[in-house]
A = this chain, B = another copy of it.
Amino acid sequence: MIEDIFEKITEEYCEISPEAIFDWSQRIKIIEHKKKHLLIKEGSYSTKFYYIIKGAVKAYYLLDEKEITDWFAFQNDFIPSTTNHLIGQKSNHYIELLEDSILIELTNTDLEEICKNHHDFEHLYRLTLSKVIYQLRERIASLQFRTVKQRYDSLIELHPTIESRVPLGDIASYLGITQESLSRIRASK
């Protein structure tokens, strides 16, 4: 199982030495939780890094008592830490499972240790961050000037199963609109 995961990662990013994989495998924990479980609660430091073996999660924060969803992750995705370590800022995010899920958990301390011990692992980690940057830039382009219809369509294209797996309100929030508006857009297709 662990081998399969690293094969996927190697395929997408780069090769990793057996030593680094061993070090990593000694530190990770495979965890399983039910739908609605909170991986990170607001106000607590986000000290862990997750990889989704199976399942789905959303990240959200509260603004004026409303949940604002700003990240979805599915099978084979990472859940990047929401904390900025450079400024030691607390996470203000919740991360909630949208389905029963199996995840790999790694503490930030361990992640940093592995990076320190293995240059190739740090390289891999750097590449995963580049990918996150690419995704975030796409998302900004989407929010900045595309119509809601366009944003919705490209979300569906990116995650064809999202409609059946994620509540409409969360999708609307992610797109930066109200649930009513999304419902109307969806009806007008």
Does A132 touch B at the CB level, under 8 Å?
yes
Known: A86-B130, A122-B119, A131-B86. A70 touches B141 (CB 8 A): yes
Partner of A84, one of B63, B70, B122, B131: B131
Interface size range of chain A in the complex: 20 to 34
Of residues 124 through 164 on chain A, the ones whose CB sits less than 8 Å from some CB of chain B are 125-127, 129-134, 136-137, 139-141, 143-145
A63 CB contacts on chain B under 8 angstroms? 145
B131 pairs with A133, CB closer than 8 A: no
A144 CB contacts on chain B under 8 angstroms? 68, 70, 143, 173, 176
B140 pairs with A84, CB closer than 8 A: no
**From DSSP, what is the main secondary structure of chain A's interface residues?**
helix
B115 pairs with A68, CB closer than 8 A: no
A140 CB contacts on chain B under 8 angstroms? 70, 136, 139-140, 143
Known: A86-B13, A136-B140. A125 touches B127 (CB 8 A): no
Q: In the assembled complex, how far is the CB of residue A60 from the closest CB belonging to chain B, in whole angstroms? A: 11
13 pairs from A and B in contact (CB 8 Å cutoff)? A63-B145, A68-B141, A87-B134, A115-B123, A115-B126, A129-B129, A136-B136, A136-B137, A139-B140, A140-B143, A143-B144, A144-B173, A145-B176
Interface residues of A (CB under 8 A from B): 12-13, 63, 68, 70, 80, 82, 84-87, 115, 119, 122-123, 125-127, 129-134, 136-137, 139-141, 143-145, 173, 176
